[in-house]
Chain A
Amino acid sequence: MAEPFTRLTSIAAPLLRDNVDTDAIIPSREMTSTGKTGLADGLFAGWRYIDATRTPNPDFVLNQPQYRDAALLLGGRNFGCGSSREHAVWALVEYGIRCIVAPSFAPIFQSNCVRNGIVPVVLPTEAIAPLAGVVCHVDLVAQTVSSADATLSFDIEGEARAMLLEGLDAIDLTLKHRDAIQAFHARDRSQRPWVYLEQNHA
């Protein structure tokens, strides 16, 4: 279950390249434990460090002093593409990122964000660039990103918004539909018995 999200005020850290992939967000070599934690150090490891002893790369955005505490990341198109690894989002959450603003997201990454309390905000490229280095206020209730200069509206679909606002556990919500699920299976089992495999299992 994720932390509920309503509002966030943070400087916006720009990582304005297209197709930032989840291998870049958390490389395979950094995924060394079977759990969901201990990943923040490996976040963006290939870009963030210049050597194996983890010397910070001064050119990487999150290593620059003004972005040290940034909770808001600006991205390019198709942000989070590639591997479905939820570790990418777990690493971002553990590091302290709570909102990503990009022109588009890869679908699995976007869904992983919602499940873990990161707000994926879609805004046009031309609206995002001026936010770089600016202190922004993200309001999920009003669905706005505002800076001293402008207020931008975004749209996030109802189910995802409700999940984020209330930090709801999706499984608990779904289990309230237990009767509908059982009715579906009873009907489906008569129509498509081959879908149900109990008979193939010892």
Chain B
Amino acid sequence: MTTLFDRIWDAHIVAPLPGGAALVAIDRVLLHERTGAAALNSLAAAGRAVADPSRVFAMMDHIVDTLPGRTDQTLMPGGQAFITETRAAAQAAGITLFDVSDPDQGIMHVVSPELGIVLPGLTLIAPDSHTCTQGALGALAWGIGSSEAEHAMATGTLRLTRPRAMRVTFTGTLSPGVTAKDMMLALIAAHGAGGGAGHVVEFAGESVTALDMEARMTLCNMATEFSAFAGLIAPDDVTFEWLKGRRYAPQGAQWRAALSGWQTLRTDDDAVFDCEIAIDAGSIAPMVSWGTSPQASVAVTGSVPADAAPAMLDYMALEANARLIGTPIDAAFIGSCTNARLSDLRRAAALLKGRKVAPGIRAICVPGSSAVRRAAEAEGLDRVFLDAGFEWRMSGCSMCFFAGGESFAEGSRVISSTNRNFESRQGLRVKTHIASPETVAASAIAGAIADARAIRPLPLRGAGRAVQRRRERGSGEGKSIPPSPTLPPKGEREFG
């Protein structure tokens, strides 16, 4: 009778509150430098301390520059203050900080799973809407505002009204060349950008359980674009194997105890959801957005809808019924908490290998974390991107949204592996088309929106070398595709 969401929620209720709300225990709080200083300074100004600093982590991702050789300085006037003030506030509060030059620096929703900060069954919040990404590991993870972050840090709890439960079941098998990104864009296109409002959405079905850990993160990442409270996937052996040995994951006897609890984190067969949606995964094609909301997305082989909103057509400089394939682009971006993990970069690189970005196209790749960047470089992916004509950046949120004041040229058309195609998000009047890393890579080569399935990917010899190295260290467990990114050796030595 019980859903996965019910199990996690009920285990975290500290006390009921009047009016049907509850005081809910929060296990992890993450901060970033855009709002971290504001939240920590506001707490300090009120004379309040962080209740348990060991469970609060701050990351530098939102403002920090991503150009090689970066410092605290940013293109944006005043950007440096976000970094220096967050650093000072984090140190004063005694929380763990992954600073600009830290080997573990990166986008919080990439770094937290890499280090095992997020674990199955936990409640995790951050003043960042894409916190739902981390529901991929079977945690209840959601975005909040700065005031709620202050509340969680001061009290270890949040005051919440119980969300409703929805299940989205992807039946059948994905077609070749179709990814988790396309699954989410298809869901949002079919059911609207507000379709998940008020609900915690559990993603289920054979094509979800078949996804690797990183693809599951892509799926849950865009639960917020569905307006869901959170996205969630039941943890399974894929999750457990991926987490084992990560720095903040339990070790030894505690791992075994944790694992036996995590194995019960699933939805009962007879559980009833407030809402159910089923989608035939086999019918999903690679998707691309044409408008200024993620719901304005169609199959890349399709056309702008005949009844498209005039305001969106005007902004995007597109006409109703126009085919998407062949629409000329000015720039291509691979990055963000949605699609900048090692597997994303590998799939894009396999298409870019031996090919060139079309003349005049600005193409940028920003790895999701410093660890992803190192792992990609160890495989030679940086050379593939650079040889194709991409810029190869340091890790951060970057031009997903103007981070650090950097943006694409005014009015330009960008194909982007990010999550939002809002007006002017990637620069003034920039026209953003969101799509998978494959579609971005293929479009960069073509100089226009393209179907990646028409390009034959080439084998990347480097990926094999990385497998070899993991096996030698005895942590690869003979997998044909190694979990990525590779574990920091320091963590293994301390807790292995």
Contact = CB atoms under 8 A, between A and B. Distances in A.
Contact of B156 (A46, A162, A181): A181
Interface string B148-165: 101100111101010100
Interface string B26-38: 0100000011011
Shortest 3 CB-CB distances between A and B: which pairs?
A158-B19, A78-B194, A194-B250
Contacts of A171: 46, 48, 150-151, 154-155
A174 B77 CA distance: 38
B15 A162 contact: no
A148 interface: no
B147 A116 contact: yes
Interface string A59-98: 0000000000000000001100111111001000000000
A111 interface: yes
11 contacts: A21-B422, A82-B224, A83-B420, A84-B144, A106-B197, A107-B227, A107-B228, A158-B21, A159-B20, A195-B55, A201-B54
Interface of B: 14-15, 17-21, 23, 25, 27, 34-35, 37-38, 41-42, 46, 48, 52-55, 76-78, 81-82, 85-86, 96, 119, 121-122, 127-129, 131, 143-148, 150-151, 154-157, 159, 161, 163, 192-194, 197-198, 224-225, 227-229, 247-250, 254-255, 257-258, 261, 293, 295, 311, 401-403, 405, 407, 420, 422-425, 428, 495
Contacts of A160: 161
Contacts, number: 201
A21 to B, nearest CB: 5
A25 to B, nearest CB: 11
A33 B21 contact: no
A34 B37 contact: yes
A198 B52 CA distance: 9
B20 A82 contact: no
B159 A86 contact: no
Interface string A104-119: 1111100110011000
A106 B227 contact: yes
Nearest to B420: A82
A84 B127 contact: yes
Contact of A77 (B146, B194, B255): B194
Interface of A: 17-19, 21, 23-24, 27-29, 31-36, 46, 77-78, 81-86, 89, 104-108, 111-112, 115-116, 157-162, 170-171, 173-175, 177, 180-181, 184-185, 188, 192-198, 200-201
A184 B25 contact: yes
Nearest to A160: B161
B157 A192 contact: no
Contact of A83 (B54, B156, B401): B401
B54 A157 contact: no
Contact of B258 (A86, A116, A192): A192
A46 B428 CA distance: 8
Given A24-B423, A84-B127, A195 B27 contact: yes
B194 A108 contact: no
A34 B127 CA distance: 14
Nearest to A162: B19
Given A116-B147, A184-B14, A195-B27, A159 B159 contact: yes
B19 A175 contact: no
B145 A112 contact: yes
B425 A78 contact: no
Contact of B143 (A17, A28, A32, A108): A108
A145 to B, nearest CB: 21
A29 B405 contact: yes
B154 A115 contact: no
Contacts of A184: 14, 25
A157 B19 CA distance: 7
B130 to A, nearest CB: 9
Given A21-B422, A171-B48, A36 B38 contact: yes
Contacts of A23: 401, 420, 422-425
Given A84-B144, A115-B148, A34 B82 contact: yes
B295 A19 contact: yes
A67 B48 CA distance: 40
A8 to B, nearest CB: 21
B261 to A, nearest CB: 7
B460 to A, nearest CB: 34
Nearest to A106: B227
A28 B261 contact: no
B422 A180 contact: no
Contacts of A46: 423-424, 428
B21 A111 contact: no
Contacts of A21: 293, 420, 422
B163 to A, nearest CB: 8
Contact of A180 (B14, B163, B420): B14
B35 A86 contact: yes
A112 B149 CA distance: 11
A86 B147 CA distance: 8
B75 to A, nearest CB: 11
Contacts of A177: 14-15, 23, 155, 157
Contacts of B55: 195-197
Given A27-B424, A81-B194, A159-B18, A181 B254 contact: no
Nearest to A46: B424
